[in-house]
Structure 1
Amino acid sequence: MTLRKNIISQFSALSPELQRAAEFSLQNANQLVVLSMRAFAAEAGVRPATLLRLAQRLGFRGWSELKDACIDDIGLRSDTYVSRAEKLIAKNAPPALYDEVFNAHQANLAFTQAENKQEMQQAVTLLDQAENVYICGFRASFPVAWSLYYVYRLFNRNASLIDGLASNIELFTRELTADDCVLLTGFAPYSRESLSVLNAAKQAGSRIIAVTDSPVSPLAQAADCTLLFSVDSPSFFPSVVSGMGLAECLLAMLVARHGREAVAKIENAERYLIDSGAYILPDKS
Structure 2
Amino acid sequence: MEQSPLTDRILKGFEAMSSQLQAAARHVLDHPRDVALLSMREQARRAGVQPATMTRLAKHLGFEGFEEIRALHADVLRERDLGFAGKAGAQVTSQKQHGDKALAGEMLRSAASQIERLGQDRTLERIVAAAETLASARRVYSLGLRSSHPVAWHLHYVLTLLGERSILLDGIAGTGADGLATATGEDVLFVASVAPYTRLSVELAEHAAALGLRVVAVTDSAVAPLAQMAAQAVIVPTDTPSFFHTMTPAFLVAEILATLIAGKAEEGALEALRRMDGHLAALDTHLKPSQTRKRK
Q: TM-score, normalised by structure 1?
A: 0.76
Residue 107 (structure 2) aligns with: 101
Post-superposition offset of 1:280: 3.3
Q: Gaps (5+ residues) in structure 1?
A: 8-21, 27-40
SS at structure 2 position matched to 1:236? coil
Q: Give, as a single letter, the amino acid of the residue that structure 2 aligns with 1:58.
A: A
Post-superposition offset of 1:54: 9.7
Q: Give, as a single letter, the amino acid of the residue that structure 1 aligns with 2:93.
A: A
Q: How does 1:89-238 map to 2 (within 5 A)?
A: 89-91=92-94, 92=96, 93-114=99-120, 115-238=122-245
Residue 86 (structure 1) aligns with: 89
Query: Does 2:58 align with 1:58?
Result: no
Q: Paired residues, what number?
A: 247
- Write the distance in 1 (CA, Å) between the matches of 2:83 and 2:21: 28
Say whether the 8 Å CA contact 1:120–1:250 is kept in structure 2. yes
Q: Measured at CA, do residues 64 and 54 of structure 1 come closer, stay the same or move farther in structure 2, by a change above 3 Å?
A: farther
Q: Measured at CA, do residues 202 and 85 of structure 1 come closer, stay the same or move farther in structure 2, by a change above 3 Å?
A: same
Specify which of 264, 277, 281 is matched with residue 270 of structure 1: 277
Post-superposition offset of 1:66: 5.3
Residue 34 (structure 1) aligns with: none
Say whether the 8 Å CA contact 1:55–1:61 is kept in structure 2. no
SS at structure 2 position matched to 1:258? coil
Say whether the 8 Å CA contact 2:159–2:165 is kept in structure 1. no
Say whether the 8 Å CA contact 2:143–2:149 is kept in structure 1. yes
- Write the distance in 2 (CA, Å) between the matches of 1:61 and 1:255: 48
Say whether the 8 Å CA contact 1:220–1:226 is kept in structure 2. yes
Post-superposition offset of 1:270: 2.3
SS at structure 1 position matched to 2:184? coil
Say whether the 8 Å CA contact 2:135–2:264 is kept in structure 1. no
Post-superposition offset of 1:278: 3.0
Say whether the 8 Å CA contact 1:84–1:236 is kept in structure 2. yes
Say whether the 8 Å CA contact 2:216–2:231 is kept in structure 1. yes
**CA deviation map 1:44-90 (0-9, x unaligned):** 5999xx9xx99972264695435985897353222321121112111
SS at structure 2 position matched to 1:150? helix
Residue 51 (structure 2) aligns with: none
Q: Give, as a single letter, the amino acid of the residue that structure 2 aligns with 1:85.
A: A
Q: Which moves more between the two structures, 113-122 or 226-235?
A: 113-122
Residue 252 (structure 2) aligns with: 245
State percent identity of aligned pairs: 24
Alpha-carbon RMSD across the aligned residues, in angstroms, is: 3.2
- Write the distance in 2 (CA, Å) between the matches of 1:261 and 1:99: 45
Say whether the 8 Å CA contact 1:55–1:63 is kept in structure 2. no
Say whether the 8 Å CA contact 2:162–2:272 is kept in structure 1. yes
Say whether the 8 Å CA contact 1:173–1:197 is kept in structure 2. no
Say whether the 8 Å CA contact 2:158–2:258 is kept in structure 1. yes
- Write the distance in 1 (CA, Å) between the matches of 2:275 and 2:92: 49
Q: Give, as a single letter, the amino acid of the residue that structure 1 aligns with 2:92.
A: I
Residue 11 (structure 1) aligns with: none
Q: Measured at CA, do residues 67 and 89 of structure 1 come closer, stay the same or move farther in structure 2, by a change above 3 Å?
A: closer
Q: Measured at CA, do residues 67 and 198 of structure 1 come closer, stay the same or move farther in structure 2, by a change above 3 Å?
A: farther
Q: Give, as a single letter, the amino acid of the residue that structure 1 aligns with 2:113.
A: A
Post-superposition offset of 1:103: 0.5
Q: Give, as a single letter, the amino acid of the residue that structure 2 aligns with 1:76.
A: V
Q: Measured at CA, do residues 257 and 57 of structure 1 come closer, stay the same or move farther in structure 2, by a change above 3 Å?
A: same
Q: Which has the higher contact order (CA 8 A, sep 6+)?
A: 1
Say whether the 8 Å CA contact 2:170–2:177 is kept in structure 1. no
Residue 77 (structure 1) aligns with: 77
Post-superposition offset of 1:204: 0.6
Post-superposition offset of 1:141: 0.5
Q: TM-score, normalised by structure 2?
A: 0.73
Q: Give, as a single letter, the amino acid of the residue that structure 1 aligns with 2:199.
A: R
